[in-house]
Amino acid sequence: MYNLRVTGTEKVFQVGKVVCLGRNYSEHIRELGNEVPDRPVIFIKPATSIIGQSEKIVIPSYSRDCHHEVELAVLIGKTGKNISEDQAMEHVAGYGVAIDLTLRDVQSELKAKGLPWEVAKGFDTSCPLSGFVASDQVGNPHDLGIRLAVNGELRQDSTTACMMRRIPQMIREISAVFTLEEGDIILTGTPAGVGAIKSGDRLSAQIDGVGTLEVSVE
């Protein structure tokens, strides 16, 4: 179970599920040699995958290639199903910084066989999250600088303006499949520059106007 609060508020959100969008930035699609999807690529990380600020990532022993993917995290504040794009933003309580850790070697093997990705994406510690800020404190969530550095070296440096699917569209499409409950989180995809991390590395992720997230690898 993972509980979080929006900075400056008292309400506690219990995270139920983390719904993630794949292939949402075109330069990242290109760097992995994937095709631009016409339908959204959606997968789920269980709440047990979440760690907080300053906690440690534990790379599972069955992988030799764990990648960082910095992503804007959207906190759902109001439960809904079949949410329209017009109403979507009313369901957003806040924003945070997330890292979608991915066992790229394991994922590639699963992809090639047409198998599900959870083993590569949903392992314990695979979802570091920052604190959250209220949505009304963030100007335009589709125009935020987003960066990730490993041991002080900048690896990912982009803007959420490059997201192909915007938040209202994601919420409409996701909520047509899964009821989005209060406390659920959406990860909105990663820009280019993903790469491997190893034991001892320090990761520092940042989204302008949202916050920073610092974690390290055990």
Q: Which stretch binds Mg ion (CB under 5 A): 43-51, 53-61, 95-103, 127-135?
A: 95-103
> Which runs of consecutive H residues, i.e. helices, occur in 85-216?
85-88, 104-112, 118-121, 167-175
**Binding flag, residue 184, Mg ion (CB under 5 A):** no
User: Which region, judged by CB under 5 A, interacts with Mg ion, from 50-58, 87-95, 160-168, 182-190?
Assistant: 182-190
Instruction: Check binding of 107 to Mg ion (CB under 5 A).
Output: no
Question: Which among 97-105, 136-144, 151-159, 204-212 is the span making contact with Mg ion, rule CB under 5 A?
Answer: 97-105
Of 207, 217, 198, the closest CA to residue 98 belongs to 207
| Distance between CA atoms of residues 34 and 201, nearest Å | 28
CA atoms within 13 A on the CB side of 145: 8
With binding defined as CB under 5 A, does residue 190 bind Mg ion?
A: yes
Interface residue with Mg ion, options 16, 40, 77, 100 (CB under 5 A): 100
Nearest alpha carbon to residue 189 among 24, 36, 26: 24
For 128-152, the DSSP string reads: EEEEEEEGGGSS-TTS-EEEEEETT
Cβ 206 to Mg ion shortest distance, Å: 17
Minimum Å gap between C-beta 10 and Mg ion is: 31
Site residues for Mg ion, window 54-73 (CB under 5 A)? 69
Give the binding site for Mg ion (CB under 5 A): 69, 100, 190
